[in-house]
Chain A
């Protein structure tokens, strides 16, 4: 499974939801879908853009929200490369309910209080909850005990909202490639840790970028809270899924 994706010029034909599309060998199903204006939801995968400062797409494959059926088998669209004549099911009732279940599980597993969360309105998890019309989760809240780490002078790291997507680990590095965030422990003990020294010296731009990369409100820039007014937040006007093709590169990058 690739975390960054290389593509070649060989053309592949496959169908998604009955629509025949062309893709390049090495592309993932997700990339091929995005290029063709087909929406597959994501939480951990991130399309590279000027805005987020990424040079190539990332696909940690941790969240499974992009689950599709490929020739009848469930696969993660962000980590599965395209192959000739694949038949991909994506926008089906069954898969969308599965995705809703994942969203619900993420909500009960963390401690999400959207009303006071700065990421509210720009949060991918919240936006997916709206998309799949989550009213109240069908699972019991875990009321997990999660720590807030506010040691860094520029970043607040609120583990209550972290969905362990691993985006920060892959995408936020120093100029010489050192990772600022990393995973620790396993199973339900898994968590994100920071390199305290590196995070302490993070620039204002990088702090902003880290907040932007995190799909939820787990990484928050310190002190400057709530400076985006209502009406200007990411999902205030268009729900998640309406921006299928990346506007920065217009789907031309790959």
Chain B
């Protein structure tokens, strides 16, 4: 008898989603879908507002990575006010923004690894869900939990010092920044916030290395799982510095095919519309982007940490570079298609962010006073950056009175829409084919596949690992056969 299984909401991701898995009469998976059921509408209601409000307004899209939206919009506004397209700012402005961004990447990656992903890794995907959550981590690995809290705090404090507030600050303004970094703040970040040496730049690097070592250790004992789970070939897209370095703040658009061949060759980010196009499907509020030249069938791609490490040539910070070399050697220099290796890539980036924060803190430019640049105004601004979850596109048009008339946002999670659907299907086929009964670990496996992408489904802030889960079985006629709930 045909069945339809619904997992709603998906837990331990940011926001709400719903998974449906369609089984045929023989319990074979015929189709799987990740539905994004939330609707935010920012592209419409930013219209009619003055352009300088955009970086402050649109960051409300998200409570986890508001800095990414704040900076992407600010970069678009830089273009509008004639301050270049990511390269025309004063050194203090550019470096303050980069510090803000690395603080953001750091805290977000730490949050994802320790809070959302580590319960599956530490306890196993099929462990009792009562234990397999962040509270379980705190109870059974208190040292690790403490590190996670302090690492996240460090990133958040960096954001507060650069943007003004930990969440939803106003630091980046069109053409620059509204403050520099005080010497007091700099010393606190280098030596330890509030005199606590555990909250120092060096400690962040040390703990990032330890988190990476933890994952690699796990990998050595769970190689088959991490390498095989939800693995499928794909294209990968990200920004890179023009010399091929990993650059999370600014760069050119590059994409590679499953073999590593360039399919988008370092295109100026202002020409993003020549590169990507978006498709709409009736069952999800989230659009499906693809590389224009390849079309929707062949052109879908992955973004985020895994894609970035597949696309870039090197990482410009020594410890992360060493880790990157190991990562690339694992797939013999070819793109890595293993969804679970997102975690590995994410931790390499965490280490890179920690190194970059220290490097920036030591830079006297951060105490400069030349904060804003302006040039010739134009009517269109495009700002791209690499948010924690992947490439983020912001595009605005403005009328002669400075009011926004058009806004297009392709957020990181949108780019990963098709890959997440494929990951869900891969997990469902592996876990549920031929099974008559649906168990909690099977459902969790599907969630694990989604979670590897660290999606921000609604860009919301409500993840506690205790979100309710509902599973419904339907027969071919759509009648409910069985219903199971947890945490409700």
A interface residues with partner B (beta carbon < 8 Å) = 115-116, 118, 148, 150-151, 156, 220, 222-231
* Among candidates B48, B173, B402, B403, residue contacting A226 with C-beta atoms closer than 8 Å: B173
B37-62: CB near A (< 8 Å → 1, else 0) gives: 00000000000111011011100100
Residue-wise interface mask of B (144-169) relative to A, using a CB-CB cutoff of 8 A (1 in contact, 0 not): 00000000000000000000110011
Residues of chain B lying within 8 A (CB to CB) of residue A231: 164
Question: In the complex, which residues of chain B have a beta carbon less than 8 angstroms from the beta carbon of A150?
Answer: 50, 401-403
List, sorted by A's number, 12 A–B pairs whose CB atoms are closer than 8 Å.
Answer: A116-B53, A118-B53, A148-B48, A222-B402, A223-B52, A223-B402, A225-B56, A226-B55, A226-B56, A227-B173, A227-B372, A229-B171
Cβ-defined contact, B174 with A116, below 8 A: no
Which of A148, A222, A226 sits near B170, CB closer than 8 Å?
Answer: A226
Are A223 and B174 touching (Cβ within 8 A)?
yes
Closest 8 pairs (CB-CB, A-B): A225-B52, A230-B164, A150-B401, A116-B57, A229-B179, A226-B170, A116-B56, A229-B178
Q: Which of chain A's residues has its CB closest to B45's CB?
A: A113
Q: How far is the CA of A251 from the CA of B387 in the complex (A)?
A: 52
Q: Is the beta-carbon distance between A227 and B50 smaller than 8 angstroms?
A: no
Q: How far is the CA of A118 from the CA of B56 in the complex (A)?
A: 9
B401 in complex: contacting residue of A116, A151, A224, A228, CB < 8 Å: A151
The listed residue (B52, B60, B403) touching A115 by CB distance below 8 A is B60
Min Cβ gap B407→A in Å is 14
Is the Cβ of B52 less than 8 Å from the Cβ of A226? yes
For A118, A226, A227, A228, the residue with the greatest tally of chain B CB atoms inside 10 Å of its CB is A226
Known contacts A115-B60, A116-B56, A116-B57; A229/B170 CB under 8 A: yes
Does B384 sit at the interface, judged by CB under 8 A? no
A186 to chain B, nearest CB (A): 27
Residues A230 and B56 in contact, CB atoms below 8 Å apart:
no
**Contacting pair A223 B401 (CB below 8 A):** no
Whether A229 contacts B164 in the complex (CB less than 8 A), given A116-B56, A116-B57, A148-B403, comes out as yes
Q: Which single member of A156, A223, A228 contacts B178 (CB below 8 Å)? A: A228
Supposing A116-B60, A151-B401, A230-B164 touch, asked if A225 and B53 sit within 8 A by C-beta, the answer is yes
Interface size on B, residues (CB 8 A): 24
Beyond A150-B402, A226-B178, A230-B165, list 20 extra A-B contacts (CB 8 Å): A115-B56, A115-B57, A116-B49, A118-B52, A148-B48, A148-B49, A148-B50, A148-B403, A150-B50, A150-B401, A150-B403, A156-B50, A222-B50, A223-B402, A226-B55, A226-B173, A227-B372, A229-B170, A229-B179, A230-B169
In angstroms, Cα B178 to Cα A227, docked, is 5
**C-alpha gap A65/B402 in the complex (Å):** 34
Residues from chain A with a CB closer than 8 A to the CB of B81 are 223
Given the known interface contacts A116-B57, A230-B170, the answer about A225 and B50 at a Cβ–Cβ threshold of 8 Å is yes
A151 to B49: give the CA distance in the assembly, Å: 13
Chain B residues, Cβ within 8 Å of A222 = 50, 402
- Distance, CA A225 to CA B57, complexed state (A): 12
Q: Is the beta-carbon distance between B171 and A224 smaller than 8 angstroms? A: no
Residue on B nearest A220 in the bound complex, by CB: B50
Chain B nearest CB: distance from A120 CB in Å? Answer: 9
Q: Which residues of A contact B52 (CB under 8 A)?
A: 118, 223-226
Cβ A225 vs Cβ B48 within 8 A: no
Which of A115, A150, A229, A230 has the most C-beta atoms of chain B within 10 angstroms of its own C-beta? A229
Q: Which residue of B lies closest to A231 (CB)?
A: B164
In the bound complex, how far is the Cα of B402 from the Cα of A30, in angstroms? 40
Max chain A Cβ within 10 angstroms of own Cβ: one of B60, B81, B173: B173
> B52's closest neighbor in chain A, by CB?
A225
Which residues 351-408 of B sit at the A interface, judged by CB distance below 8 A? 372, 401-403
Q: Given that A148-B403, A222-B402, A223-B402 are known contacts, is A115 also in contact with B168, CB under 8 Å in the complex?
A: yes
Q: How long is the Cα–Cα vector from A151 to B399 in the complex, in angstroms?
A: 11
A21 to chain B, nearest CB (A): 41
Query: Residues of A contacting B164 with CB < 8 Å?
Result: 229-231
A224 and B164 CA atoms in complex are apart in Å by 17
How far apart are B161's CB and chain A's nearest CB, in angstroms? 10
Nearest-CB distance from A32 to chain B (Å)?
Answer: 39
When C-beta atoms are compared, the residue in chain A nearest to B77 turns out to be A225
A222 to B401, CA, bound (A): 9
Residues on B with C-beta less than 8 A from A226 are 52, 55-56, 170, 173, 178
**Contact A156 B402, beta carbon cutoff 8 Å:** yes
Q: Within 8 Å CB of A229, what residues of B?
A: 164, 170-171, 178-179
What per-residue 1/0 map shows which CB atoms of B318-349 lie under 8 Å from chain A?
A: 00000000000000000000000000000000
Residues in A whose Cβ lies below 8 Å from that of B165: 230
Nearest CB of B to A234, in Å: 15
Instruction: For A147, give the chain B residue with the smallest CB separation.
Output: B48
Q: Which B residues lie within 8 Å of A223 (CB)? A: 52, 81, 174, 402
Residues of chain B lying within 8 A (CB to CB) of residue A224: 52, 173
Contacts of A228 in B (CB 8 A): 178
CB distance from B247 to the nearest CB of A (A): 26
B121-153 interface (Cβ within 8 A of A): none
Set of chain B residues within 8 Å of A118, measured between Cβ atoms: 52-53
Q: Please name the residue on chain A nearest to B180 by beta carbon.
A: A229
- Give the Cβ gap from A247 to chain B, nearest Cβ, in Å: 24
B103 smallest CB distance to A (angstroms): 15
Interface hits, B264-313 → A, CB 8 Å = none
Complex Cα distance, B402 from A220, in Å, reads 12
Q: How far is the CB of A236 from chain B (nearest CB, A)?
A: 10
Who on chain B is nearest to A151 by CB?
A: B401
B53 (CB) vs chain A CBs: closest residue: A116
- With a cutoff of 8 Å between Cβ atoms, the chain A residues found around residue B48 in the complex are 148
Measured CB to CB, the closest approach of chain B to A121, in angstroms, equals: 9
Complex alpha-carbon distance, A224 and B52, angstroms: 7
The residue on A at minimum CB distance from B401 is A150
Q: Closest residue of chain B to A229, judged by CB? A: B179
Q: How far, in whole Å, are A116 and B372 apart by their CA atoms in the complex?
A: 20
Query: Would you give the shortest CB distance from B266 to chain A, in whole angstroms?
Result: 33
* Alpha-carbon distance between A223 and B171 when the two chains are bound, in angstroms: 15
